[in-house]
Each structure stands twice: as structure tokens, then as C-alpha cells.
Amino acid sequence: MSIAQGTKLGQYEVQDFIGQGAMGLVYRAYHSDLERTGAVKVMQAITPDPDTVARFRHEAQAIARLRHPNIVDVYDFGEFQGTPYMIVEYVPGGSMAGKMAHGVLDRASALRYLRGIAAGLDYAHGHGVVHRDVKPANVLLTADDAPVLADFGLAKLMQGSSLKSMTGVTTGTPAYMAPEQVTGGQVGPAADRYSLATIAYEMLTGVIPFDGEALMELLYAQVHRYPSPPSARDSTLSPQVDAVIMRGLAKSPNERWESCTAFVDALAAAFDGAPAAGVAATMVMAPPVAATRPIATTAVAERVATQPQPATVAVPTAVVQPRPRNRRRLLLGLAALLILLLILGVCAEVALATTLALNPDRVAPGGTVTVTATHVPANQAGEIQLWSVVHTYPFRANANGVVTQDITVPVDVELGNHTVKICWDNSCHKQAPLRVVAGVGEVQPTPVAGSTPSAGPRSTATPRSTPRPGSSPTPNSTPSSSSTPRPTSTPTSRP
């Protein structure tokens, strides 16, 4: 659903299209009386039934009461043609995801960003609000390079959406989801702390804890496995840093840090080489993996162990030394055989490698893509995965090992580069790039330069001003009595 330029949403007038976030389209809008720019987030991902809309209003009111420098302000909310929308601060500085895409952050910068994120999360938790989807794309950056949390609590509104119906898990982004979110358990502040530890891991190592996993493998890993410690990715990181982050990634919520700020303080102490309080007793390491012995060897060993043995055993052994020439011939023959087998194996792999093609490979949200795969095992059942979001599509190959299936790209998918994978037997065997773009086959306003589609937007170019005496709040505006204004601010605007 698109909104035409000039459309009035309460006291805000839509100016232009910014892009698309996880919840739907994002537009820039302007309040002429307050001389304030905002971002309109159209909640297309929310089912517009009365119960969901009522929950949306309740969540919007709770989020609007949050007044913190590291949390995006909510200005207004309502419905447009039956679809809920929310007007929030416009933050044009991009997101943390863009910053982290350039590689590992230096430790001072990582600490500065983490402190801001932690302060915002702890404040929200103190007011009974859990974010549920803390990830780099939801951390916006102001013109002063300060982190600001966006999309607070919106993941909760997607309960009962296509994600939950397909997987049975609570909504969120898989790479940053706490184990209790994956299993559908009770989600509290500790889930946000797990996500913050995941972001810290990525900032310092350049990769997420479970990198390169297929979707279902990733969800399984979040619940049952422990990642490699950060020092395994970067040897310059100390064991103290490992201890702090691994506690943040503990599977049990009760074993994680008691607050986000406590986690960042401990990480800062670890950078300085000082042991952080509360680490040694609670550091979580990966459990040892028992080696699997060959069946025959195991059986023989157990049989020998159960037989009575004489007190002493003397067995004379005749040592036969092979002739040097025969040994050389044997080694040369084995080497030639191995080379031949290697060549045959490579040829067979090339000939039988799975192929994957997408038509088209550029599509708008809600569009259809035909996925074609060959050299899949005959009659094999599996799933096609749209990576970076939790969407899977089951398939079954035909007798010739060919898969041809149409998949529909979700309307709530973010714009940009995605990956389609074909998976079976708990492994993904081939992948292909898919570009999701706005307005394929339809006219969309020109995106604002430098804007981040996945971001929920904050204005730093236009100072927040005091409303004119004659202005009045929109029907759905949050009452001033329900918010705690910042110093020098008025009930309806922030300085």
C-alpha cells in the first residue's frame, strides 16, 4: 500500500518515500505547526483485525511514554485505510548495520555504541518495555554518531503472523534471538541482553556467533550450542573478554548479566585487563563433545576388557622389515590410486553438483519468484529458505531430481540483497542472490539520499521546537500526562 505525496496523517503531511523496513513502507512527513519532520512507518506486516489493531494502540502508547536520548521518540499513531501507522523521529544518519558492514570496530568505538544502546535498553526495561528485536539495523545513528534504538516493541505485534505460523517461534531476527525466543518461552529483559551480547560479539570479531548456518540450524544452535569464544575469531581478544561475552550469551536467562550496563562495564574492565566481578563463577563454555568410536573397535575393546587376563603375558614377536624397493613401489602405487580417485571424485562432484536459479532475480515485496534446482536427490523433500528473514517454503523434488517452485516474497521483507537457499537433510546445498527492490512495475517516489530503508527515522537538521500556542494534538497523539518530558522539552516535542 502506497501513500501519495501530500496526504495528511493527523497534523503531518506526507512528503516523500524513504524506503521499506521490516514492518512496511516508510515515508517522510512534516508537521507545519511544530516545524518538525517525522517518519511515517506503515505497519503492513500487522494483520488489520480489531484485536491486533487494539494491541498496536496499546503498544504504541507504551512506547510513546519512553523518553530517553537513546530511544526514538513516537510522535503520533493512527490508521490509514485500515492499516496502522506510527509517526516517529526522523533520524537520517543511517544504522549500526551500515557502520558494522565495513568490518570490525575499534574497541573504543564499540564501547561507546554499546554504552548508548545499553542505557536505552535499561531505561526501557525499567518501564516494563522489552524491545524483542535488538539488532544493528534497529540501532540508528544521529548526526553526532550517537546510537538510537528504533522499532521498540514492534516485534511483539507480529505474534500470530506468518513467522509464528510457520515455525512456532516468537518473532525476532534469528541471528540475534535469545534461546527463549526461539522456543516460544517467556521473553523478558534478559532476551534483549542476549541480543546486545551478540552485537558486541559481532562488533569485535566481524561475524555473528553462529555464522554461515542454515536457518533451521541457526535456530537449533541458538538453543543447544555454544559459539566459539571471541578470541577464536581474533587472537588479540583476551580470556577476560571471552568470559564477559560468553556470560552474555548464556542459554539460561538467569545466568546472563543483570543489566545491559553491567555487561558493558564488565567488557570495559576486560579491555583494561581487569577481571570483572561475577565472571569466573558464571562463564559458560561449550560442553565437551564425546568422540564416536568405530563400532568394530568398540565391540572388540569391550570384549577384551571383559575377558580375564593372565598376570603376565609374554608374546615373542617376529619383526619383518619390508625390502626398501618394495616399499617405494607400494607408496608410488598408493599415491597414483589416490590421485585417480581424487580426479574421479572431483569430476563426479562437478557433474552432479546441485544448481539453483531464480526467475526473476529482482522482485518487489509481495512479488513471486520461480525457483528451479537440478541434481537434487530423486523425490527428496526439503525447504527453500529466504535468508535474513524467517521464511521457508517446503518442496519435494521429482523423480529426476528437479525442483520447480514459485515462492512469494513477504510484503514485510526489507529492501536490499537477500539470499535464497535450497536445503535438505539439515544442510543447505546451494544458494543464489535475490535483490528486493521497491516499486517493480509501479511508480514510487524517489528515495531520500543517504536514508536507510530498514531504519525508523531522527531529525537532527531541524531543531525540535516548542509548539505554537494555537496548535493542538492529533486525535491519536499520546497525552502529555503519560510521558516524562526531558529537560527544556514540552509535552509534545523534544529539544
The residues that are catalytic are 133
Is 408 exposed, middle or buried (CB count within 10 Å of its CB: 0-12, 13-18, 19+)?
middle
Q: What are phi and psi of 169, to 5 degrees?
A: -110, 165
Rounded to whole angstroms, what are the CA distances from 318 to 315, 321? 10, 10
> Under a CB-based contact definition with an 8 Å cutoff, are residues 435 and 359 in contact?
no
Report the chain's terminal Cα–Cα distance, integer Å. 33
> Under a CB-based contact definition with an 8 Å cutoff, are residues 379 and 397 in contact?
yes
| Beta bridge partner(s), residue 434 | 418
> Under a CB-based contact definition with an 8 Å cutoff, are residues 493 and 478 in contact?
no
| Beta bridge partner(s), residue 55 | none
Q: How far apart are CA 153 and CA 172, in angstroms?
A: 10
C-alpha cell at 43: 505497519
Residue appearing with cell numbers 564488565: 266
Is 338 exposed, middle or buried (CB count within 10 Å of its CB: 0-12, 13-18, 19+)?
exposed
Q: Which amino acid is at 446?
A: T
Residue appearing with cell numbers 523518553: 67
Residue appearing with cell numbers 551480547: 197
Q: In the chain, how long is the greatest CA-to-CA distance?
A: 109
Q: What are phi and psi of 91, to 5 degrees?
A: -120, 100
CA-closest candidate to residue 96, choices 41, 138, 131, 152:
138
- Sheet-wide strand order for 368-374: 355-359, 368-374, 403-408
For β-strands 25-31 and 8-9, DSSP reports them as unpaired
SS (H, E, C) 93-141: CCEHHHHHCCCCCCHHHHHHHHHHHHHHHHHHHHCCCCCCCCCHHHEEE
Q: What are phi and psi of 156, to 5 degrees?
A: -65, -30
CA-closest candidate to residue 152, choices 179, 114, 123:
123
Angle at 142 between CA 12 and CA 19, to 5 degrees: 55
